[in-house]
Structure 1
């Protein structure tokens, strides 16, 4: 049976710190925004701070007794939430005229995404700048993204200035994004500053920053390679709901990286990652179930259940384990034809190459000796079709 994947190999496969930015809201170009009002299902995500404010407004707080500016903002929120974007824009502009930064941010959001007609980067930037002058973090972060793309009359060099302004105002989300911005630039001279901002974001309780800070501590080229501190933050990130961090934390605990080995805690984190739905974790969890860990007896049937879930989600380790189970009858009824199918799926090229795997190759050869050529050819066609990205 095979070993757990290495932590470094897993981090490389997952793309380092990239998972934190994959969920970052994108800023569409005007050409990407179709004319007309989008359906609720197609609405762009609200900026994070505005979304939190809108949730509070929707919780039932009375509008009576508020200042005229706050009442205008509450009316803008209510109109936006029911799809009255023209009304939301009018109320947001009224709030902005009264000095409410969130009103200017909402007006910019509506104009950027063309929710009342044609999108306009220039109009959006004008409103976001108005909010930014009042230190509004959402506006500063969006301006940074627009500047990085040279949109709305902004220049790329302004991106760093906008993020720095937001981070220095004490916003944890901005500190997180600014730290990532500095990391991506790859400037060794800014490494300490990048780590400081990520640390501030993480220690401020921004759970989205936990995994990125852990990666910077352990595996970033310009980081301190502090596995002990990184393991703490990977565990926190995993417990906060980050599947990739949960898997990395589990592997570090299992292998004794960054501290003493703790198989029980490591297995718990790996299972957590699998339950979050991470295919790579499903294969690792299945392997632990096959082998037994931390005084727990092997459980081949449960291992097969998890391997099947990971295999169907295209995780190669899960596919190999499922093929092994079907070939040996260990945890599932023996089925050589399906075993051959899954071992071929496990061998399918990923990223333009097929990773070397002696165990997989040996199982494939054994199955080819056991099955008729007609069956082999039919299964090869089926596996090739299912493995095709097209």
Structure 2
């Protein structure tokens, strides 16, 4: 079994993964209808504080109303939640207006009413309530409640102008996602402000914008410190990217020990691609006589079971050779087949994988191969939610 692959070949894919996740916060705020929609972030944090805060009687009238509204919402009593939220709004509390708009938007207390929801949300937005402005932006993009798409940017610009880090991140993401080179510098500035405020997802987004965004500077040396910060703050893709950059000396001097530590951290946080890269390094160490095959095989198995193609190939090799695990040729064939199914980072055209598959294929009858292929396909479709057909 050859292990000529080195870490770093998938950094671009990991960066693309961060870029693809830039809109996650915006999408989370989008008013998609569900039976029990999550509270907007600010209201959710408020509800959590109310669980163990001071007694309601000791609060101001608006805080009392909001505490009762939150409690009713969390128990599914949406009509009472709306009544208390509107009472809070009547005292001038923008949180109450946001919650009332949220309930109306999702039809939790009756028929969904976009226009009524927008009236409450606008009332909150006039007081710079961040959740309300983010939701209004999403509604404007969808032309709902009498809003128009051009207003989406206005709402987010207003929110970001308050100095709120989350709003700065959402606005920067919005500008980046427009694809307009004329706002590229502005997008990067807002992402920088949110990153400097310490938001891990903003650090990751800012690093990705500096690194490989078509309208960004494309400077790994600027991006690497932010990947490191984001990774150390708990963002798995950033930890993996930073690890690979440090190992390869990309964007600065190489620091293999620090890079390996970050890559392992990303693997331990459950990122399949990081598990695969970590397993590869451990396998290379074992091949060189300075590592443990059992540890390498264990990580390869974790990566394989998480759906990572490189991990699946490495685990197939371990099963075929018996290095670090019990030898099992049938399962080796199952896993090497899975490594080649079309999806992101597939090894479909990898000569090493092709060679191992061909070698294993010679061991089995046609009927056995058909059975193992069915097992491989079923495992990919059902267990990993991947599409082997690439459709």
TM-score by length of 1: 0.91
Measured after TM superposition, the shift of residue 382 of structure 1 is 2.4
**Alpha-carbon distance in structure 2 between the residues aligned to 1:78 and 1:315:** 42
In the alignment, the residues of structure 2 paired with residue 387 and residue 57 of structure 1 have an alpha-carbon distance, to the nearest angstrom, of: 44
Task: Report SS of the residue matched to 1:83.
Answer: coil
Which of 55, 65, 70 is the matching residue for 1:72? 65
Instruction: Indicate yes or no: 2:377 matched with 1:375.
Output: no
1:10 aligns with 2:3: no
- Where 1:45 maps in the other structure, the secondary structure is coil
Residue 66 of structure 1 deviates from its aligned partner by 3.0
State the distance in 2 between where 1:9 and 1:170 align. Answer: 32
Relative to structure 1, the CA distance from residue 339 to residue 292 in structure 2 (aligned partners, 3 Å threshold; closer, same or farther) is same
What is the CA deviation profile of residues 290-313 of structure 1, one whole-angstrom value per residue up to 9, with x for unaligned ones?
1229x9931211111121122122
Asked if the contact 2:23/2:174 (under 8 Å) is kept, the reply is no
How many residue pairs are counted as aligned between the two chains? 378
Partner of residue 261, structure 1 = 254
> What's the counterpart of residue 134 of structure 2?
141
Structure 1 CA distance, aligned partners of 2:54 and 2:9? Answer: 51
* Residue 197 of structure 2 corresponds to residue 195 of structure 1: no
The reply on whether 1:313 has 2:306 as its aligned counterpart is yes
Tell me the CA shift for residue 27 of structure 1.
3.0
Change (3 A) 1:65 1:312: closer
User: 1:63 maps to which residue?
Assistant: 56
Structure 2 CA distance for aligned equivalents of residues 180 and 10 of structure 1: 19
CA distance in 2, matches of 1:206, 1:296: 41
Residues 286 and 303 in structure 1, CA contact (< 8 A), matched pair in contact too: yes
Q: Distance in 2 between matches of 1:385 and 1:94?
A: 54
Q: In the alignment, which of 4, 19, 26 is matched to residue 21 of structure 2?
A: 19
Unaligned runs of 5+ in 2: 382-386
Cα offsets for 1:213-237 (capped at 9, x unmatched): 0000111111112212211111111
Change (3 A) 1:352 1:60: closer
State the Cα distance separating 1:378 from its structure 2 match. 2.5
Report the counterpart of residue 270 of structure 2 in structure 1: 277
Say whether 1:287 aligns with 2:313. no
Shift of 1:20: 3.7
Correspondence 1:205 to 2:198: yes
d(CA) in 2 for partners of 1:126, 1:100: 15
Q: CA deviation at 1:8?
A: 4.1
CA distance in 2, matches of 1:386, 1:142: 39
How high is the TM-score relative to the length of structure 2? 0.91
Per-residue deviation at 1:325? 0.6
SS in 2 for 1:314: coil
Q: 1:31-56 CA deviation, whole Å, 9 max, x = no partner?
A: x45xxxx5xxxx21211111122222
CA contact (8 A) 1:166 1:175 kept: yes
1:1-390 aligned at under 5 Å gives the runs: 1=3, 2-11=5-14, 14-22=16-24, 24-28=27-31, 32-33=33-34, 38=35, 43-292=36-285, 297-350=290-343, 355-388=348-381, 389=387
Quick check: 1:347–1:360 contact (8 Å CA) kept in 2? yes
Distance of 2:228 and 2:94 partners within structure 1: 37
- Are the equivalent residues in 1 in contact too, given 2:309–2:346 (CA < 8 A)? no
1:128 Cα deviation after fit: 0.3
Contact 1:7 1:252 in 2 (8 A): no
Specify the SS of the correspondent of 2:23: helix
